[in-house]
Homo-oligomer: A and B are copies of this chain.
Amino acid sequence: MKLVIIGGVAGGASAAARARRLSEAAEIILVERGPDVSFANCGLPYYLGGVIAERAKLLVTTPERLRTRFRIDVRTQSTAVRIEPANKTVRIRETGGREYDQPYDKLISAPGAAPIRPPLAGVDLPGIFTLRNLHDVDQIQTRLHAGVRQAVVVGAGFIGLELVENLVHRGISTTLVELADQVLPPLDPEMTTPIVETLKSHGVEILTGEAAAAFRATAEGLAVQLKSGRELTGQLVVLGVGVRPENALAVEAGLEVGARGGIKVNEFLQTSDPDIFAVGDAIETTDFVLGGPTQVPLAGPANRQGRIAADNVFGRASKYRGTQGTAVLGVFGRTAAMTGASAKTLRRLERPFHAVYIHPTDHAGYYPGAEQMTLKVLFDPETGRLLGAQGVGGAGVDKRIDVLAIALQARLTVFDLEEVELAYAPQYGSAKDPINMAGFVAAGWLRGDHPQVDVPSLLAMSDDARPLVLDVRTPEEFAAGHIPHAMNVPIDELRLRLAELPADRPIVAYCQVGQRGYLATRILRQLGKDAVNLSGGYRTYRLWQPNG
């Protein structure tokens, strides 16, 4: 068996190591365009910020180790320039210029995805970068050492925000420009409010619904001209506006690619040529939750795909179940994470769903240091099956999203979440964990015990058509901020003050996070009132209306 692997980072390196474990006899050739294999691309922003101090730490493995330990024929500085499926060869060009045809029995293609560099005027000026590999990071580092006072990051995705944090960490005044009307476009917009507030509190200027239009060199360094006409000044611009699958070789070789350019593969990660497999950021995979094709450039899936492709090369039928898009961002001590489908995606695909919000603390409130989070759980409104989840806040967000990620994998429902038995001691969780609470709220809605209205629906109602908005918090909480025109009747007085409520007007009750509002709803409905709870309470309201 002569196995050729194109690309030596996450998917390619995993495939190579797995292949060797499966076969001592195979000839395994790894072709990598750059000088490095298997570097920690997710660590690049942190190296720029000085959080990861040594460049060597970014080298997860080296060509030398792949050679000695795994007996891989590693060929760095070697670019695959053409695949010829008919001859089963790959044309390889070395940096020095030499070219040759490398035969293969099986090929695994892991070329990755290239950062998009929009064809704007001046985009190739010095000081304007994308961030993909160690070469990029070295160039940015050099620029930083030359002195950068102001930076502009274009694109507020995961890498963009990590870059912003690290640039601020270095004392650089940073402006973030994002075409969408929110940061972190994979998340639902209201869930990004705490992240926006955190960024602002660290002095980051955020320009959403805005884009770079042109760049030019100035005495100050660079001027970034925006679509709106505004101009930003900086000595460094990093473009993080997305990636494009590296599909040129595949297309030229006649392999099928999807509508968004990802190389098409079957569940065995086999391309339209049965002797060619493809893995990682370059492929189109299946959306595990919703079905249908998707392209999710993430390190975890790429690594697992590499293993699976190697298995199939050596005759072990191994299937990739699809990608559910679990991702996490840490920024200035806050965490935002998600798994599965967002409300945005579900609406776009016209899939029915319902969402609940809770605002629990990561551990028991009576133990010091509890930090608050917001969890949004999306589920099928008929069956209760989980569709997705998002979390934002402090400690414990990553844990709950991981728990929900495996719940999603197992096709669990919100009824199952009610029954989850997680580890509880007061410094780790609560006797009713946030996951249980999410299950209780969602299942309560499904059972009809807990009718809820969401904030956008409330906001969409005209003032005349609005139900009575009943704030059941304390007068102190009410005074500190409330929904306009709300009436305040604390929950503990509600039963005694029923006569004050209008007889025939529907009621939307709310409290701080939803729990007292739920009890109010229960009390009122059992008395025959048309009452619903505002989903997630005032805290959720403030996610939508951060300025009051």
Contacts and interface: CB of A to CB of B under 8 A. Distances in A.
Contact of A423 (B60, B162, B288, B327): B327
Given A24-B526, A328-B428, A519-B21, A410 B419 contact: no
A366 B53 CA distance: 10
Given A25-B526, A60-B366, A406-B407, A424 B46 contact: no
Contacts of A401: 423
Contacts of A162: 425
B398 A428 contact: yes
A433 B403 CA distance: 13
Interface string A318-350: 000101101111100001010100000000000
Contact of A403 (B406, B412, B428): B406
B25 A419 contact: no
A76 to B, nearest CB: 19
Interface stretch (A181-189, A300-308, A534-542): A300-308
Contact of A424 (B300, B324, B422, B436): B300
Contacts of A25: 526
Contact of A427 (B307, B330, B406, B422): B330
Contact of A40 (B40, B366, B409): B366
A328 B427 CA distance: 10
Given A52-B367, A402-B422, A24 B69 contact: no
Contacts of A337: 423
Contacts of A487: none
A340 to B, nearest CB: 10
B339 A419 contact: no
B330 A423 contact: no
Given A328-B428, A337-B423, A421-B339, A24 B522 contact: yes
Contact of A69 (B58, B424, B519): B519
A103 interface: no
Nearest to A399: B399
Contact of A43 (B301, B402, B426): B426
B421 A526 contact: no
B526 A23 contact: yes
B40 A300 contact: no
A427 to B, nearest CB: 5
Nearest to A25: B526
A42 interface: yes
Contacts of A491: 69
Contact of A21 (B70, B518, B527): B518
Contact of A416 (B68, B410, B449, B526): B410
Interface residues of A, number: 88
Interface string A165-199: 00000000000000000000000000000000000
Contacts of A522: 20-22, 24
Nearest to A420: B406
Contacts of A548: none
A356 interface: no
Given A300-B431, A416-B410, A43 B364 contact: yes
B406 A326 contact: no
Nearest to A18: B440
Contacts of A486: none
A432 to B, nearest CB: 5
A326 to B, nearest CB: 5
B21 A300 contact: no
A422 B405 contact: yes
B424 A304 contact: no
A473 to B, nearest CB: 13
B409 A421 contact: yes
Nearest to A366: B57
Q: Closest 7 interchain pairs by CB?
A: A410-B410, A328-B423, A24-B526, A299-B431, A399-B399, A57-B366, A68-B492
16 contacts: A20-B522, A42-B425, A42-B426, A43-B367, A46-B426, A52-B368, A65-B492, A69-B519, A288-B421, A303-B431, A304-B418, A326-B423, A329-B425, A339-B423, A402-B423, A410-B412
Given A300-B422, A330-B428, A406-B410, 18 more contacts: A22-B449, A40-B364, A46-B367, A52-B367, A52-B368, A57-B366, A65-B492, A69-B519, A300-B424, A321-B419, A326-B421, A326-B423, A327-B424, A329-B425, A330-B427, A339-B423, A406-B422, A410-B416
